[in-house]
Chain A
Amino acid sequence: MSEQQPKIPQTKPRFSATFDESTMSEIRRAAATGIYDIRGAGAKRKVPHFDDLLFLGASVSRYPLEGYREKCATDVVLGARFAKKPIHLKTPVTIAGMSFGSLSANAKEALGRGASAAGTSTTTGDGGMTQEERGHSSILVYQYLPSRYGMNPDDLRKADAIEVVIGQGAKPGGGGMLLGQKITKRVAKMRCLPEGIDQRSSCRHPDWTGPDDLEIKIAEIREITDWEKPIYVKIGATRPYFDVALAVKAGADVVVLDGMQGGTAATQEVFIEHVGIPILAAIRPAVQALQDLGMHRKVQLIVSGGIRNGADVAKALALGADAVAIGTAALIALGDNDPHLEEEYQKLGTTAGAYDDWHEGRDPAGITTQDPELMKRLDPVKAGHRLANYLAVMTMEAQVIARACGKSHLHNLEPEDLVALTLEASAMAKVPLAGTNWIPGVTGF
């Protein structure tokens, strides 16, 4: 009879934090295909964000407003610097630029319906203006992009404002792409391209380089539209102080600043996750530039990239923005990534909540597709109603917070209403770490 050996304890298999499951799967995919991964949406990594800020609310030292009785205004006027016809929104939550081509016609119509019901604006994208969105958008911002796909002076005149796009948060310095699956006959015709090809959009404007030229370009657009339309300049968040200052110098009425969480229809994963900065880090330098030029509240600042609820809206405004824009959140409100489509997401090798292959045109929700059968799944009236509801909720949530801080207008929120939960957020947003007077880089500990 042999003596029983004592069992040796085994180290539990340990996964690498560096080589996590997602990283390893991407290495295998890259090794198998030899080409980078392309996807839609914005940065998915965790970055310092509005969740890292808190409002202080009123107490003995501050006086709140009665939530159900006292007015807290939410309207915003955009473009009064030079435009004869500035636009007036009922809520500071706008819909960001998203193209027909990347989105279905029904999705564009739904965005227009929802935004119009809420008294706010929606925005075209690469590829031009469709009748669906012009017809259903009471206030439509027309994007003027490097590719100039579908760019038409008649549409320029039909727009309520014009947004000169320099870049976007998901890919500052990068051009767009729309893969062949989505270049249908209609999309190809609008963009003057062969049907079914993989379309590239330029990263630079074709007829100007640098801020001095931009000033002349903006003046040309103003001349063409008889100085009626507000002109926005949209930039991806990278060097916000200098870029905002140059946009103001170039004559912008409004600056749109998009953080790295802002979505895209299709871009390389490595670009989305590794170029640009979070919106939280970009707002204060942008506001500082406006203040240094004496232009804060004269040139309006719209910020975007990861805005999800009324708290995010209130925080963005408290940091000095005049309005926000939503893209990904608006698509979710329409029905994107909805769990009721889980079975179909599984067939695409993904799961509800993680679907981001928007460029492939197989969206079961009928939003990021040009497939006629899939498109039919999105009822633009019902989806527009959902978006209107969501916009109303965001606006009311922001009002709840503003009243609690004693503000009769969302624009009266200020950095002094905020504290930060983390050192990073404190340094980026330049508000004190909660419970202290310390702002890293600004005040001594």
Chain B
Amino acid sequence: METLIFDLDAKPLREVNQFLHGDASGLNGKAFVIENPNGAHSIAVGLKSDIHVTVKGHAGYYAAGMNQIAKVTIEGSAGSGVAENMMSGMVHVKGFASNAAGATANGGLLVIDGDAGLRTAIALKGADVVVGGSVGSFSAFMAQAGNFVILGDAGEGLGDSIYEAKIFVRGKVKSLGADCEEKTMNPEDRKILADLLAKSGHAGVNPDSFKQYGSARTLYHFHVDNAGAY
């Protein structure tokens, strides 16, 4: 596979991103390496072609934001909002991720090998998010759809005001948010979990070691009796 290298010490990020936004017919199937990212914000955002971008180091905010189709690998840690509003494709963070990782992501797969910060998978809208470590508080807040796998622990208020997203946690949950409850894992959900573990490099992990959480659906309609829940 042809690989093109961009050195952010030598080339402005704006030019790199604009190149990666080029006509898909000329980009599809190609691989790119971004060197010296040095925590720059908005690296490889808005991609929409079948390409593989490898970031050799740490990325700042919104790395791979709004990704479509592309695969982005960050060989370091990522700042806030990595893969925010991703539509499809895959984003793999080999280090840690800061707050709001995978926020509002609609599709695709976000894999974080390390820990992730506050509000991971907030308002998730259909994507799959797998965190190898632990996640901070208020993760999966108002998560609407998609699957969220946590191999470590979860902080406070997990799944607060959750809609139809599914959460799988292997470690401890400090507390559940309003309207989030433990569910019984059915065979279909177990298969979803097993597939995601396999896709994210955790094939040897037993799905039965996870607990599943989701919406109790008691807050789906405004009602005076629910006032205390907010």
Kindly state the interface size class of chain A when it binds its partner: 20 to 34
Q: A200-B142, A213-B80, A223-B14 are in contact. Are A207 and B221 (CB under 8 A)?
A: no
Query: For the complex, what is the distance from the CA of A180 to the CA of B18, rounded to whole Å?
Result: 42
A207 with B222: CB separation less than 8 A: no
Q: Does B125 contact A (CB under 8 A)?
A: yes
CB distance from A158 to the nearest CB of B (A): 13
B222 with A226: CB separation less than 8 A: no
Q: Which residues of chain A have C-beta atoms less than 8 A from B222's C-beta?
A: 35, 177, 179, 198
B62 with A207: CB separation less than 8 A: yes
B62 with A217: CB separation less than 8 A: yes
Query: For the complex, what is the distance from the CA of A114 to the CA of B87, rounded to whole Å?
Result: 33
A226 with B221: CB separation less than 8 A: no
A219 with B42: CB separation less than 8 A: yes
A220 with B42: CB separation less than 8 A: yes
CB distance from A43 to the nearest CB of B (A): 22
* B 63-81 to A, binary, CB cutoff 8 A, 1 in contact else 0: 0011010000000000011
Kindly state the interface size class of chain B when it binds its partner: 35 or more
CB distance from B129 to the nearest CB of A (A): 13
B104 with A216: CB separation less than 8 A: no
Q: Does B96 contact A (CB under 8 A)?
A: no
Q: Which residues of chain B have C-beta atoms less than 8 A from A226's C-beta?
A: 17-18, 21
Q: Which residues of chain B have C-beta atoms less than 8 A from A147's C-beta?
A: 123
Chain B interface SS verdict (over half): loop
Q: Which residues of chain B have C-beta atoms less than 8 A from A206's C-beta?
A: 84, 100, 103-104, 119, 122-123, 141
B42 with A223: CB separation less than 8 A: yes
Chain A interface SS verdict (over half): loop
Q: Does A2 contact B (CB under 8 A)?
A: no
Q: A179-B222, A224-B65 are in contact. Are A153 and B48 (CB under 8 A)?
A: yes
A180 with B87: CB separation less than 8 A: no
Q: Which one of A13-21, A161-169, A189-197, A408-416 contacts B?
A: A189-197
* A 170-199 to B, binary, CB cutoff 8 A, 1 in contact else 0: 000000010110000000000111100110
B220 with A194: CB separation less than 8 A: yes
Q: Which residues of chain B have C-beta atoms less than 8 A from A220's C-beta?
A: 41-42, 45, 61-62, 65, 81
- Nearest A residue to B99, CB-CB: A207
A198 with B224: CB separation less than 8 A: no
A151 with B85: CB separation less than 8 A: yes
Q: Does B106 contact A (CB under 8 A)?
A: yes
CB distance from B105 to the nearest CB of A (A): 10
A194-243 interface with B by 8 A CB criterion = 194, 197-198, 200, 202, 206-208, 213, 216-217, 219-220, 223-227
Q: Does B210 contact A (CB under 8 A)?
A: no
Q: Does A349 contact B (CB under 8 A)?
A: no
Q: Which residues of chain B have C-beta atoms less than 8 A from A33's C-beta?
A: 224
CB distance from A155 to the nearest CB of B (A): 11
CB distance from A256 to the nearest CB of B (A): 22
Q: Does A152 contact B (CB under 8 A)?
A: yes
Q: Does B109 contact A (CB under 8 A)?
A: no
CB distance from A150 to the nearest CB of B (A): 9
Partner of B85, one of A148, A179, A208, A219: A148
B122 with A223: CB separation less than 8 A: no
Q: Which residues of chain A have C-beta atoms less than 8 A from B84's C-beta?
A: 206-207
Query: For the complex, what is the distance from the CA of A259 to the CA of B30, rounded to whole Å?
Result: 50
Q: Does A302 contact B (CB under 8 A)?
A: no
Q: Does A34 contact B (CB under 8 A)?
A: yes
Q: Which residues of chain A have C-beta atoms less than 8 A from B144's C-beta?
A: 191-193
Q: Does A156 contact B (CB under 8 A)?
A: yes
Query: For the complex, what is the distance from the CA of A226 to the CA of B18, rounded to whole Å?
Result: 6
Q: Which residues of chain A have C-beta atoms less than 8 A from B61's C-beta?
A: 208, 213, 216-217, 220
Q: Does B161 contact A (CB under 8 A)?
A: yes
Q: Which residues of chain B have C-beta atoms less than 8 A from A156's C-beta?
A: 66
Q: A35-B222, A207-B62 are in contact. Are A193 and B163 (CB under 8 A)?
A: yes
Q: A192-B144, A206-B122, A227-B14 are in contact. Are A200 and B161 (CB under 8 A)?
A: yes
Query: For the complex, what is the distance from the CA of A200 to the CA of B161, rounded to whole Å?
Result: 10
Q: Which residues of chain A have C-beta atoms less than 8 A from B46's C-beta?
A: 153, 223-225
Partner of B126, one of A192, A198, A202: A192
Q: Does B13 contact A (CB under 8 A)?
A: yes
Q: Does B35 contact A (CB under 8 A)?
A: no
Query: For the complex, what is the distance from the CA of A227 to the CA of B12, rounded to whole Å?
Result: 14
Closest 10 CB pairs of A and B: A224-B46, A207-B81, A207-B100, A153-B66, A34-B224, A207-B103, A148-B104, A197-B220, A220-B62, A206-B122
Can you sample 19 A-B contacts with CB below 8 Å?
A33-B224, A35-B227, A147-B123, A148-B123, A153-B46, A153-B48, A153-B66, A192-B106, A194-B164, A200-B142, A206-B100, A207-B81, A207-B84, A207-B119, A216-B62, A219-B41, A219-B42, A223-B13, A224-B65
